[in-house]
Chains A and B, each alone.
Chain A
């Protein structure tokens, strides 16, 4: 059974304090790993897709990396507007969820001014 575990569940940082969110996964044949951002009262918003170990992608203050067992979402010098819940999901090559996407519970990130 495919599994995605995100840690920590919640993280409170000061503005400018860099940190990383972790997404550990177990999947039979990874086709892709996805990061989404969800703001209160809104649906998840797509950030990145990573396909193979060693791949990295960046967008503004966010950088996502992938190994064979986990992904990290690095946040550099965050600002209050980066506060959100960050969701990780994996797409299996075979089986997995009905649409191949298995989600983690998310990390609730708060950036204090």
Chain B
């Protein structure tokens, strides 16, 4: 496989459930990201990992918990979510995190997303 793969593509969960989103990249990139995409809103950055280390947490509620066991895999653990958390969650990777590389290295490759519905 090539590119960035996200699973599951669709997820429906209740407010008390615990679930996880998975992202895997086969590009040899060093930085990985979680974005939230809601209707009529710009993409919102949630988390950034660079060389497996979390470098940014963009004021995301604690009901979202990221995990990056290695530079190819990224998880987003979900628990006690709210209906307003329903959105498309996009994973992305880049060759280098922008703080370390030249501008050209920050081109993001996105996965297809996981469509989350919280009932």
List which B22-76 residues lie within 8 A (CB) of chain A: 31, 33, 40-43, 45, 48, 55-58
Q: Which residues of B contact A97 (CB under 8 A)?
A: 45, 58
List which A24-40 residues lie within 8 A (CB) of chain B: 31-32, 34, 36
Chain B contact residues (Cβ within 8 angstroms of A): what range? 20 to 34
B7 part of interface (Cβ distance < 8 Å): no
Q: Which residues of A contact B42 (CB under 8 A)?
A: 4, 102-106
Contact of A45 with B110 at beta-carbon distance under 8 Å, contacts A4-B42, A31-B103, A98-B56 already known:
yes
Give the number of chain A interface residues (Cβ < 8 Å). Answer: 26
Q: Which residues of A contact B33 (CB under 8 A)?
A: 99
B108 part of interface (Cβ distance < 8 Å): yes
Contact B41 A105 (CB under 8 A): yes
A41 part of interface (Cβ distance < 8 Å): yes
The residue in B43, B99, B104, B111 that gathers the most chain A C-beta atoms within 10 A of its C-beta is B43
A-B contact pairs, 20 of them (CB 8 A): A4-B42, A31-B98, A32-B103, A36-B110, A42-B112, A43-B4, A45-B110, A49-B104, A49-B107, A51-B103, A89-B43, A91-B98, A97-B58, A98-B55, A98-B56, A99-B33, A99-B98, A99-B106, A100-B99, A103-B42
